[in-house]
Structure 1
Amino acid sequence: MSTETESLPTQRPRTGRRRKFRAPSDRWSFPILMFAVHWVIAQVPATIAFVFGSTRPPLDPPFETGASWAYSMPLGPMTGLAHYLVEPMRHWDGTWYRLVATTGYDSTGISFPAKAAFWPLYPWLIKFFSGITTISPESVGYIISNVAFAFALVLLYQLVSMDLSVDVSRRTLWAIALFPTAFFFTAVYTESLFLLLTVGCLLAARRGNWWIAGIIGLLAALTRSAGVMLLAPMGILFLQQYGADIRRWFPSIFPAALPALGPLIFGWHLTTAGLQFFDWINVQWQWNRFRATPWETFQCATVGCEAVIPNVGTDQARGVDWSWVGELAGSPTWSTITSPGFRDGFARGDWLELIVTVGAFVLVLLGIRRIPLYYFALVLPPLIVPLFGPSSVHPLMSMPRFVLPMFPLFVVIALFVTNRKAGITLATLSAIGMAILTMQFANWYWVS
């Protein structure tokens, strides 16, 4: 695991030795090109599936219905262009962010404490921009996500080029933009905004702009619970720049610690809405989450386990289910792959969660001594912490989505996939996977 970032002066750093970009326009043109490629591969299949496909029928209400659990009923159809672009991408958590944006965290009426699981910056932005325009909350969320992802790719290109090389940064963008679950960057979810703030924070810290880094880090800590974990990579960069002499830490140590305020601000805000300070933790039982050790979580994910869920009781967690593979092998027909039963088995088998989680840890091991130390610190905490709170519904719930802002994982892929033919093959397969999962999502099948 490399600890090198760049030559750091003894005083407050600004710039240092950097690898040159191929051309000034390349900083923008290539990331925007990758955004366009990503958007087409994510949006077109979603729209086609939404318009011509069938919405998954209710199976196990209230947790697994095709309707929004946030509203306990289907949302009304959108009109105009939003019906084709936004509506396929607003499902699942998107309905929760709409609910928070329109009703706040008040615990009365339709607004119940489960909303505390959704951190505030994204719905606050949705509420603000929807309020000053005539655009619907879902459409505002869609625009925020897509604009944020485009700028995130621009900043990520700069950061990886600075730390490694332009070639690695280009391959990194290919890897992250075409990852099978990368359609969440286009959906009404927080992945794009969180990636933008994460990269922006670390790029500013890398350049020694600690007030900018701290403010952006605080915004990240108001976007996702994992935002406070930016303190780990920021701390490493801080020590590399200022050393162990505490006298040199001031005043930059103050902005460097700003992400720690994120949970405090959110907790305080919940109390103003009649909820409890730690309800962002306490409400996790509503997603059937329970306490476990990481090895117990993997046991639940592979062979199943009995779970004791607060306020619910005992439940049985299913292990990974590969039965859809046998079904497809026995009848590899169009009617099979489009049938609700097959699509639901494909969605609920937990195989994607297991593969992505194990694959992420493999990439971490492969990246030792090949990526900067602060990259490693960025990935490890948010990769491990969810393993202490599995769900009996999906033991590794949301892990294929949680890894998306962990850009160092995609840097490791870029470091190892250097052969052009191999890269094209993997990119093609990954893009096909993203198209398939996007169509599942557009028809209300579970993805992550």
Structure 2
Amino acid sequence: MPHGNMLAHFFFKAAGLPGGRNAAALRIVALAYGFHTLLVLAALLLTDLLPGREAAGFLNPGAGQTLPFIEKFIKWDAHWYTYIAETGYNIQSIVFFPVTILLIKAVAGSGLGYVAAGFVVCNLFTLLSYYVMAKTFLLDFSAKETQRALLAYATLPTSFFLNSVYTEPVFIVWSLACLYCLRTDKWWQAGLFAALAALTRNLGVLLTVVLVYEFIKHYYDDRKWKPSMLAAFLPVLAFGAFCVYNNRLFGDPLAFVHSQQAWGRQFGFPWDNFWNNLGLIQAGVPLVETGLYLDAVLTALTGIALVFATAVPGYRLPGKYVLTGWLWFLLPLFSTSPVYPLYSMARFVLVIFPLYLFLARLPTLWFFGLLWLQAAGLVLCTALFINWCWLG
């Protein structure tokens, strides 16, 4: 059994999840993940043909000591995650939530360097994310829709972040595992995975809303309260534990929130942030122009997808998908900065999996047209990212 299949099998067995439909899921995963990998490797051939930029932001001193192939993907926040795993938190780095960092530390303990360990962790979770996504989608959607959705995920122009050292693949795995457990009546497991998501990214705590929504639905169906409904509050408890940890380190339970100011983040209304982003594009801001375009296009596309998933016949999705999508879409839109008005939305939408189901349900000509457009965008964006272009 290939290593990726073994990892997925172990994950579902350890979580106590059913293992049916493996053959269909694995075929879909092989196609989507294989296509994504080919596109990322193709981007390496394009890298030297594009103008490079000087390294910017914080640089982990240990990044230059890893394999050259891995170093190509260690850009921007990837330096922070690997550095924190090795040296611990400070008041600026506390904005990064701990689960991915703990996973890196655990793998580095086997003898790998911290940078290589981060690369291994995130790429293993990337493969696992395809499998968990396929298994989850197959519960409610056809094999054709699931395959199309995973191809859309595989080719999103910012999906190269899955191959770097960012929280996206780890967060997607916990979140989808939570929805899978909800769908299969594994309530305590759903709460546990939601708690892990809450300790991976701040948005994970919003899964509490999704859990409560599902529990209310089941209560009205059965008219019976169950102790397992308490699992809805596990993400809040996990989030609270991180606040306690913040207070222990820095005397401030919300240090991870207050430290955002050092990163240039501030409150802004979504419509103002989108308009300001368009204004910077029109002005042709040189260093961040590609990232600004991506932010605008992918934010608009995701907003359209969620409207269709909520209200348009033929595109409507189950409530837990719609609720998750809107929560994860709207909250980051209230965060802005003068330089990046939509501040990394091109990356943040990567975890909003209702987007992929919307694309999967488009008419065939539209779907494949967008698929190849996305694929070309992924190759270009991966090469730009490797050359230190800011893309989210």
TM class, shorter-length: 0.7 to 0.9
Q: 1:238-264, CA deviations, whole angstroms, 9 ceiling, x for partnerless residues?
A: 22223277x723301111221112321
Question: Taking structure 1 as reference, are residues 278 and 70 closer, same or farther at Cα in structure 2, changes over 3 Å only?
Answer: farther
How far residue 92 of structure 1 moved from its aligned partner, in angstroms, is 0.4
How far residue 232 of structure 1 moved from its aligned partner, in angstroms, is 2.3
Determine the structure 1 residue equivalent to 2:64: 77
Task: Give the TM-score of the pair, scaled to structure 1.
Answer: 0.77
Question: Taking structure 1 as reference, are residues 203 and 322 closer, same or farther at Cα in structure 2, changes over 3 Å only?
Answer: farther
Determine the structure 1 residue equivalent to 2:5: none
For the 8 Å contact 2:247–2:255, the answer to whether it is kept is no
CA distance in 1, matches of 2:36, 2:345: 21
Determine the structure 1 residue equivalent to 2:24: 26
Determine the structure 1 residue equivalent to 2:8: none
CA distance in 2, matches of 1:189, 1:28: 25
Query: Is 1:100 aligned with 2:90?
Result: no
CA distance in 1, matches of 2:255, 2:40: 34
CA distance in 2, matches of 1:45, 1:357: 24
Query: Is 1:296 aligned with 2:272?
Result: yes
Return structure 1 stretches of 4+ with deviation > 6 angstroms. Answer: none
What fraction of aligned residue pairs are identical, expressed as a percent? Answer: 28
Query: Is 1:359 aligned with 2:301?
Result: yes
CA distance in 1, matches of 2:137, 2:218: 18
Q: How does 1:58-137 map to 2 (within 5 A)?
A: 66-69=55-58, 71=60, 76-79=63-66, 82-84=67-69, 86-105=70-89, 107=90, 113-131=91-109, 133-137=110-114
How far residue 322 of structure 1 moved from its aligned partner, in angstroms, is 6.6
For the 8 Å contact 1:182–1:434, the answer to whether it is kept is yes
Q: How does 1:318-357 map to 2 (within 5 A)?
A: 319-321=280-282, 323=284, 344=287, 346-347=289-290, 350-357=292-299
How far residue 46 of structure 1 moved from its aligned partner, in angstroms, is 3.9
Q: How does 1:77-226 map to 2 (within 5 A)?
A: 77-79=64-66, 82-84=67-69, 86-105=70-89, 107=90, 113-131=91-109, 133-226=110-203
Question: Taking structure 1 as reference, are residues 53 and 298 closer, same or farther at Cα in structure 2, changes over 3 Å only?
Answer: closer
CA distance in 2, matches of 1:353, 1:53: 21
How far residue 26 of structure 1 moved from its aligned partner, in angstroms, is 1.7
Q: How does 1:380-399 map to 2 (within 5 A)?
A: 380-399=326-345
CA distance in 2, matches of 1:103, 1:275: 20
Structure 2 unpaired stretches of 5+: 1-15
For the 8 Å contact 2:43–2:383, the answer to whether it is kept is yes
CA distance in 1, matches of 2:45, 2:249: 37
> Aligned-pair RMSD on alpha carbons?
2.4
For the 8 Å contact 2:50–2:384, the answer to whether it is kept is no
Query: Is 1:268 aligned with 2:249?
Result: no
Question: Residue 424 of structure 1: which of 348, 368, 376 is its match?
Answer: 368
Determine the structure 2 residue equivalent to 1:42: 40
For the 8 Å contact 2:40–2:382, the answer to whether it is kept is yes
- Secondary structure, aligned partner of 2:100: helix
Moved more, 270-279 or 254-263: 270-279
| Paired letter, 1:446 | W
Determine the structure 2 residue equivalent to 1:239: 216
| Paired letter, 2:58 | W
Moved more, 267-276 or 223-232: 267-276
CA distance in 1, matches of 2:145, 2:30: 17
Determine the structure 2 residue equivalent to 1:412: 358
Determine the structure 1 residue equivalent to 2:380: 436
Structure 1 unpaired stretches of 5+: 1-13, 58-65, 108-112, 304-318, 325-340
Question: Taking structure 1 as reference, are residues 47 and 92 closer, same or farther at Cα in structure 2, changes over 3 Å only?
Answer: farther
How far residue 165 of structure 1 moved from its aligned partner, in angstroms, is 1.7
CA distance in 1, matches of 2:248, 2:41: 39
For the 8 Å contact 2:57–2:76, the answer to whether it is kept is yes
CA distance in 1, matches of 2:104, 2:17: 35
Task: Give the TM-score of the pair, scaled to structure 2.
Answer: 0.88
Question: Taking structure 1 as reference, are residues 389 and 67 closer, same or farther at Cα in structure 2, changes over 3 Å only?
Answer: closer
How far residue 430 of structure 1 moved from its aligned partner, in angstroms, is 0.7
CA distance in 1, matches of 2:214, 2:144: 24
| Paired letter, 1:356 | L
CA distance in 1, matches of 2:164, 2:288: 23
Q: 1:219-251, CA deviations, whole angstroms, 9 ceiling, x for partnerless residues?
A: 010000010111222222222223277x72330
CA distance in 2, matches of 1:261, 1:300: 37
- Secondary structure, aligned partner of 1:89: coil
| Paired letter, 1:267 | C
Q: How does 1:280-291 map to 2 (within 5 A)?
A: 280-291=256-267
Query: Is 1:255 aligned with 2:231?
Result: yes
- Secondary structure, aligned partner of 1:32: helix
CA distance in 2, matches of 1:268, 1:127: 21
How many aligned residue pairs are there? Answer: 372
Structure with higher Rg: it is: 1
- Secondary structure, aligned partner of 1:320: helix
Moved more, 157-166 or 405-414: 157-166
How far residue 70 of structure 1 moved from its aligned partner, in angstroms, is 5.3
